[in-house]
């Protein structure tokens, strides 16, 4: 990690490791990725949607809260959904047969549809992409970490 370059015989202090993590987390400003995603149902996303298969999803994220996600059907180039958010409002485009359905609302709007695709919301994804600030907690370990080279 940046800021950590100890010699193999030195111990890394917890504060140094936390500072290096915080420095790295603050540098993450954007992300572009293609991921395999599977739809989940329910308020806590515990139950898997019936017939849900992993699908490729393209993600573009810019801190603090800009998000664009596009899900596609493999080998057909057809969209399953297209969602964008500026952190306050979201826009969701979903094909429904030959009709395109367009939803606009605040990012904290409740998910009330029986169709899982219509319940897509950006906030869980944005929260997952942010690196939280690290905090030291007492009572864990000896307070020092040995460099991986020494182990």
Q: What is the pLDDT of residue 38?
A: 78
Task: Retrieve residue 130's tokens.
Answer: 């942010």
pLDDT of res. 11: 73
Give 10-34 pLDDT, tens digit per residue.
677 778 888 888 888 888 889 899 9
pLDDT at site 34:
92
As a whole number of angstroms, the distance between CA 105 and CA 85 comes to 10
**Of 73, 75, 111, 72, which is closest to residue 90 (Cα–Cα)?**
111
Q: Provide φ and ψ at 127, rounded to 5°.
A: -60, -40
Element (H, E) at 111: none
Is this prediction's pTM over 0.85? no
């Amino acid at each position: 990690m940046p800021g950590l370059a100890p010699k193999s015989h030195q111990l890394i202090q917890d504060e140094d490791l936390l500072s290096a993590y915080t420095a790295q987390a603050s540098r993450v400003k954007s992300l572009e990725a293609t991921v395999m995603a599977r739809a989940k149902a329910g308020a806590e996303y515990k139950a898997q949607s019936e017939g849900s298969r992993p699908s490729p999803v393209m993600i573009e994220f810019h801190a603090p809260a800009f998000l664009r996600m596009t899900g596609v059907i493999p080998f057909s180039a057809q969209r399953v959904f297209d969602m964008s958010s500026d952190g306050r409002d979201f826009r969701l485009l979903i094909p429904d047969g030959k009709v395109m359905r367009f939803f606009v609302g605040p990012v904290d709007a409740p998910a009330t549809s029986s169709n899982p695709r219509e319940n897509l919301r950006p906030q869980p994804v944005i929260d997952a992409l942010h690196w939280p600030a690290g905090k030291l907690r007492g009572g864990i370990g000896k307070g020092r970490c040995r460099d991986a080279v020494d182990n």
